């Protein structure tokens, strides 16, 4: 854990209750909070891309 990575770092400020919830979720899944947040961002970006593509095609 804590090895070198090619990934960029992103810092965000969130409410304490969100952090606690993320920590609980990550622990339940035996993952780090960083990994979990990365997956949530990935999912959000995929949804955003899909939305943009459907708008370009004239579909709402």
- pLDDT for 13 equals 98
How many CB atoms are located within 10 Å of the residue 33 CB?
14
Query: pLDDT tens digits for 20-60?
Result: 999 999 999 999 999 999 999 999 999 999 999 998 888 55
Q: Residue 2's pLDDT is what? A: 67
Residue 59: phi, psi to the nearest 5? -100, 135
Average pLDDT over residues 5-11: 93
pLDDT given at position 19 = 98
What's residue 60's pLDDT?
Answer: 52
Q: How far apart are CA 31 and CA 23, in angstroms?
A: 9
pLDDT of residue 7: 93
């Amino acid at each position: 854990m804590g090895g070198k990575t090619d990934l960029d770092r992103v810092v965000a400020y969130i409410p304490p209750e969100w952090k606690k919830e993320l920590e609980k979720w990550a622990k339940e899944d035996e993952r780090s909070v960083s990994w979990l947040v990365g997956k949530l961002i990935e999912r959000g970006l995929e949804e955003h891309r899909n939305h943009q593509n459907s708008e370009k095609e004239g579909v709402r």
